[in-house]
Structure 1
Amino acid sequence: MQVYERAGLIIAGLATRTTNQTEADPRTGLIGPLYQRFFGENISQQLTNADLTSRYGVYTNYASDHQGEYDLIVGHAVSSDQPLADGLSRVTIPAQRYLRWQATITQPSDVIGMWMQIWEYFSQPQLHQRSYTADFEYYDFAQPDQAEIWIAIQ
């Protein structure tokens, strides 16, 4: 698996705090409703000077590991001085080392499958350990059937 050094990036959008256990039950999951709200309220248009060529889902503020609470911010890359409308959040993806997973997707469950591969990968002894600072999903609108998940490593 190739290691990538990435520069920092600021993402603004809608946020929620959840756990993977909460997300395992469709009745209690918060991620689906967060995305519905993001698209339904046209949040992209509320972010002036945002890069609207791609979308991010940033997982950060981990309480512990992938089994604990974390924040998810769905949004777009913005400049650091970006003013935000009420109810929107901003997060910095830190400059650090990452591993990248890529896949062709046809439905949201394909992304869940990628996360399952990641959890399985890190459940085994590896050369790399997760840092749990900020991981992110990346969706390039020029390639709508592609998804990338970037995992921060120590």
Structure 2
Amino acid sequence: MSQFKEEPCMPVLVTQEAIGVKGMFVRTSNRAEQDVNTQKIAPLWQGFMQRSDVQSNTSSPIYGCYFDYESDVNGEFNVLLGLMKEQVEPINSELTKLNLEAGEYLRFRAKGEMPEVVIKLWGEVWQYFNDENCSYSRRYLTDYECYTATDGVDIYIGVNRKLVV
């Protein structure tokens, strides 16, 4: 049985430096991810976790990066699973390099059973930004998940402050 906190998490505004990540990526959409026959993120995770350079870097955070958005939550986007560039063999040319944008992010945090806790937390992220009283808008440049433990995830969403009129 899954263990979730039932109250929504409160995001924290953080300023992040640019982060260099290197890994494997796919292009997908939220619609495609709803169907087991068209989803690409789960197979990407399976392939990524089987890599020897990932298995040998157990102390390094794993990043799930979302970038190159077509539009918003309804459009296509790229997903890259990777490690910080310094943690990956520099000669591995089959991996894609990505620089996560520096700037303001809202950090959402949760602990629980994987992957359910991640799916639930993304639901809370979408609910937060759909609230008419939300003080931030998504930038849709780079967003990312950071896994530092087997039972926890931080989701960072790039934001702009909404102008109050």
Per the shorter chain, which TM-score range?
Answer: 0.7 to 0.9
Match of 2:6 in 1: none
TM-score, with length taken from structure 2 = 0.82
**C-alpha distance in structure 2 between counterparts of 1:38 and 1:2, whole Å:** 29
User: Which has the higher Rg, Structure 1 or Structure 2?
Assistant: 2
**C-alpha distance in structure 2 between counterparts of 1:53 and 1:134, whole Å:** 20
C-alpha distance after superposition, 1:14-59 (max 9, x if no partner): 100000000011111000000111012334269xxx8952100000
TM-score, with length taken from structure 1 = 0.88
Match of 1:71 in 2: 78
Once the two structures are TM-superposed, the CA of residue 115 in structure 1 deviates from its matched residue by 0.5
Is the 8 Å Cα contact of residues 65 and 144 (structure 2) preserved in structure 1?
yes
Q: Which runs of 5+ in 2 are unaligned?
A: 1-10, 161-165
Match of 2:4 in 1: none
Letter in 2 for 1:92: N
Change in CA separation of 1:52 and 1:71 when aligned onto 2, cut-off 3 Å: farther
Letter in 2 for 1:31: I
- Residue 93 (structure 1) aligned with residue 100 (structure 2): yes
Q: Percent identity?
A: 30
Match of 1:152 in 2: 158
Q: Secondary structure at the match of 1:121?
A: helix
Equivalent residues, number: 147
Match of 1:11 in 2: 21
Change in CA separation of 1:32 and 1:77 when aligned onto 2, cut-off 3 Å: same
**C-alpha distance in structure 2 between counterparts of 1:72 and 1:104, whole Å:** 22
RMSD: 1.9
Match of 1:58 in 2: 65
Match of 2:120 in 1: 113
Letter in 1 for 2:54: S
Q: Secondary structure at the match of 2:31?
A: helix
**C-alpha distance in structure 1 between counterparts of 2:91 and 2:98, whole Å:** 12
**C-alpha distance in structure 2 between counterparts of 1:147 and 1:2, whole Å:** 14
**C-alpha distance in structure 2 between counterparts of 1:61 and 1:74, whole Å:** 14
Once the two structures are TM-superposed, the CA of residue 67 in structure 1 deviates from its matched residue by 1.1
Q: Which runs of 5+ in 1 are unaligned?
A: none
Q: Which runs of 4+ in 1 moved over 3 A?
A: none
Letter in 2 for 1:135: D
Change in CA separation of 1:35 and 1:43 when aligned onto 2, cut-off 3 Å: farther
Once the two structures are TM-superposed, the CA of residue 83 in structure 1 deviates from its matched residue by 3.1
Is the 8 Å Cα contact of residues 66 and 143 (structure 2) preserved in structure 1?
yes
Match of 2:163 in 1: none
